[in-house]
Chains A and B, each alone.
Chain A
Amino acid sequence: MSIDITGVTKTYGDFVALDDVSLTIPTGQLTALLGPSGGGKSTLLRVIAGLETADTGEVTIEGVNATKLPPQKRNVGFVFQHYAVFKHMTVAKNVAFGMEIRKRPKDEIAARVDELLKLVHLSQFSHRLPSQLSGGQRQRMALARALAVEPTVLLLDEPFGALDAKVRKELRDWLRRLHDEVHVTTVFVTHDQEEAMEVADEIVVINEGRVEQVGSPDELYDEPANDFVMGFLGETTSLGGVLLRPHDVHLSLTPQEAGAAEGSISRVLRVGFEVRITVLTDDGDEVNVLLTRTHARQLGLEPGVRVWVSAASGATTVPKMAAAAG
């Protein structure tokens, strides 16, 4: 197992950033640490890198106890949200930094820098300064720089957080393909569930300093451990004491299924091919239902129409907690 975290706790004054976290991150995979801002995911990543020290607990990287090791001895590559490029060095010098520190022969460094810049599609920019690159290019350079030292693990802290939506999506696909090529154990932090679901092999959901659930994207989506995970991975609505996805609500004009709740439509909002409908049930629930435009037209849905709503067969549901998050 590549990274083993046991009983890690980290506090800042009264604030508990990590609360007795134990976690195993498998070798060679792309793992996402997913959770809301301030939930402790970045702190966990920094503890793995050695940029923060845990108050208690241990970190083992590839069988080596790294708890007391300074960052420069852990052989991890770290990519920062705001790139942390070395502003006074050219792109090539940035990438070569780690190897120069390790006193590798000059021709070996030159060859490896060439190879890495090709990998991140920045070959023609090798003599530029980082200030002459776009955000996406800078982040690719930072990634090449981190890969240059052949790290045991690659850690990325919200790597695409500072980029605009389009570049972000491109880099996301590119990271996935890159990982399929180089296979280095990679952990990245994100608060964007779509990003995590699309890129990661495995997702660790972290909230309020605790691990809520670990699993593949499908496992998490289909079998959320609790209402927090359910709510964080997508929209939810509550119906008869359970949480479910708005597109998993079955809506009909006649009572077709036993236990269906009767109510009337209070709002219809059309966005492109989707129609979002709000139903006020007679039991006092406000249920959001998502239908396709065609389906909604067939049924002739308008505010005031009486309908019956129930959980569709095969829908993912979790019991609603007293203090439902989401």
Chain B
Amino acid sequence: MVKVSAPVRWTLRLLAIGYVFFLVAWPVGMLFRRTFEGGLDNLRDAFNDEDVVSALLLTAQVAGIAVIINLVFGLTISILLVRYEFPGKRLLSAMIDVPLSVSPVVVGLALVLVYNGRDGWFGTTLEDNGFQVIFATPGLVMATCFVALPLVIREVVPTLTEVGDEQEQAARSLGANAPQTFWRITLPSIKWALVYGVVLSLARSVGEFGAVKVVSDNVSGRSQTATLMVEEKYQNFAQGSAYAIAFLLVMVCIACLVVVAVLRPQDEN
């Protein structure tokens, strides 16, 4: 490593710390302070509000389903991208990055265009058969899946590439069939990449706002997720509840990161 002089080193440190402090630490700290301004009142009030509880449950439900769907499809697509050659592979790989670059609002709008019950492509047929997508839970799940789609794949693909397929070939030559090879060899070797992908997806899914905002009709107790409720509460001058819910959302993400940090070293020893 190149040696840098002490003043330069200190300036760089200050810059980095200052940047993170003013952008992340201070605002989040303020949020925590406001949440606990009246002791536990804000949190207690929030939990006594039926709508808040149902919004939190809806977020948990939507995020949970979205993560499971993205886990299954993400894993399948990753294996397809790394282990197989097929025409259109590069196109598929590029498509997967679209959710990272497109604004979530656009995603929501696009979903509404296709699945709405009045003039959407599939929406009318689906609705005639009694299946509502837009302004209902399926729409929320789809929007969340869309924005979190690349996260599992982008974690798993590099690991899968690095591990290579020699271990899988060895397993095959020792008599293992495809499912046995997957469960005993492939899955254990990409386990941590998968866990990270899931944690990132979960954090992203819990916090999704833009896409959900468009596909939800924002009815408390039915189609209002926690993030949508934060906005509504804040605009209706119920700041205490808004802070409390925001605090809970942050805690979910921190809990995810802590769980991974605690689990990981034990596994490696």
Q: Which of B173, B185, B189 contacts A72 (CB 8 A)?
A: B173
Contact A49 B173 (CB under 8 A): yes
Interface residues as binary, A72-83 with B (CB distance below 8 Å gives 1, 0 otherwise): 101111101010
Give complex CA distance A166, B172 in Å: 32
Q: Is A71 interfacial (CB 8 A cutoff)?
A: yes
Contact B170 A84 (CB under 8 A): yes
Contact A76 B167 (CB under 8 A): no
Q: Is B177 interfacial (CB 8 A cutoff)?
A: yes
Contact B167 A72 (CB under 8 A): no
Interface residues as binary, A47-89 with B (CB distance below 8 Å gives 1, 0 otherwise): 0011100000000000000000011101111101010111110
Contact B166 A87 (CB under 8 A): no
Interface residues as binary, B155-187 with A (CB distance below 8 Å gives 1, 0 otherwise): 000000000001101111111110010001100
Q: Is A149 interfacial (CB 8 A cutoff)?
A: yes
Range for the number of chain B residues in contact with chain A: 10 to 19
Q: Which of B167, B175, B189 contacts A98 (CB 8 A)?
A: B175
Shortest CB–CB separation between residue B206 and chain A, in angstroms?
Answer: 30
- CB-nearest residue of chain B to A49: B173
Contact B166 A84 (CB under 8 A): yes
Interface residues as binary, B1-15 with A (CB distance below 8 Å gives 1, 0 otherwise): 000000000000000
Shortest CB–CB separation between residue A132 and chain B, in angstroms?
Answer: 12
Contact A87 B174 (CB under 8 A): no
Contact A76 B189 (CB under 8 A): no
Contact A86 B166 (CB under 8 A): no
Residues of A close to B171: CB separation below 8 A: 86, 97
Q: Which of A49, A82, A148 contacts B166 (CB 8 A)?
A: A82
Q: Is B265 interfacial (CB 8 A cutoff)?
A: no
Contact A86 B170 (CB under 8 A): yes
Q: Is B188 interfacial (CB 8 A cutoff)?
A: yes
Shortest CB–CB separation between residue B162 and chain A, in angstroms?
Answer: 11
Contact A71 B169 (CB under 8 A): yes
Give complex CA distance A76, B174 in Å: 7
Q: Which of A71, A74, A87 contacts B167 (CB 8 A)?
A: A87
Residues of B close to A50: CB separation below 8 A: 172-173
Q: Is A138 interfacial (CB 8 A cutoff)?
A: no
- CB-nearest residue of chain A to B163: A87
Contact B188 A72 (CB under 8 A): no
- Once A87-B189, A88-B188 are accepted as A-B contacts, the answer to whether A80 and B174 lie under 8 Å apart by CB is no
Residues of B close to A74: CB separation below 8 A: 173
Shortest CB–CB separation between residue A88 and chain B, in angstroms?
Answer: 5
Shortest CB–CB separation between residue A147 and chain B, in angstroms?
Answer: 11
Shortest CB–CB separation between residue B137 and chain A, in angstroms?
Answer: 38
Shortest CB–CB separation between residue B237 and chain A, in angstroms?
Answer: 55
Residues of B64-110 contacting chain A, CB below 8 A: none
Contact B166 A80 (CB under 8 A): yes
Residues of B close to A71: CB separation below 8 A: 169, 172-173
Residues of B181-238 contacting chain A, CB below 8 A: 184-185, 188-189
Residues of A close to B176: CB separation below 8 A: 72, 97, 101
- CB-nearest residue of chain B to A82: B166
Contact A78 B170 (CB under 8 A): yes
Contact B173 A78 (CB under 8 A): yes
Interface residues as binary, B106-136 with A (CB distance below 8 Å gives 1, 0 otherwise): 0000000000000000000000000000000
Contact A101 B188 (CB under 8 A): no
Residues of B close to A49: CB separation below 8 A: 173
Residues of B close to A51: CB separation below 8 A: 169, 172-173
Residues of B close to A80: CB separation below 8 A: 166, 169-170
Give complex CA distance A87, B185 in Å: 9
- CB-nearest residue of chain A to B191: A88
Residues of B220-269 contacting chain A, CB below 8 A: none
Q: Is A245 interfacial (CB 8 A cutoff)?
A: no
Residues of A close to B189: CB separation below 8 A: 87-88
Q: Which residues of A are in contact with B by a Cβ distance under 8 Å?
A: 49-51, 70-72, 74-78, 80, 82, 84-88, 97-98, 101-102, 142, 145-146, 148-149
Q: Which residues of B are in contact with A by a Cβ distance under 8 Å?
A: 166-167, 169-177, 180, 184-185, 188-189
The 10 closest A-B pairs by CB, nearest first: A98-B174, A84-B166, A78-B173, A84-B170, A71-B172, A88-B188, A101-B175, A72-B175, A71-B173, A101-B176
Other A-B contacts than A51-B173, A88-B188, A97-B174, 4 sampled, CB-CB below 8 A, are A70-B177, A78-B169, A80-B169, A84-B166
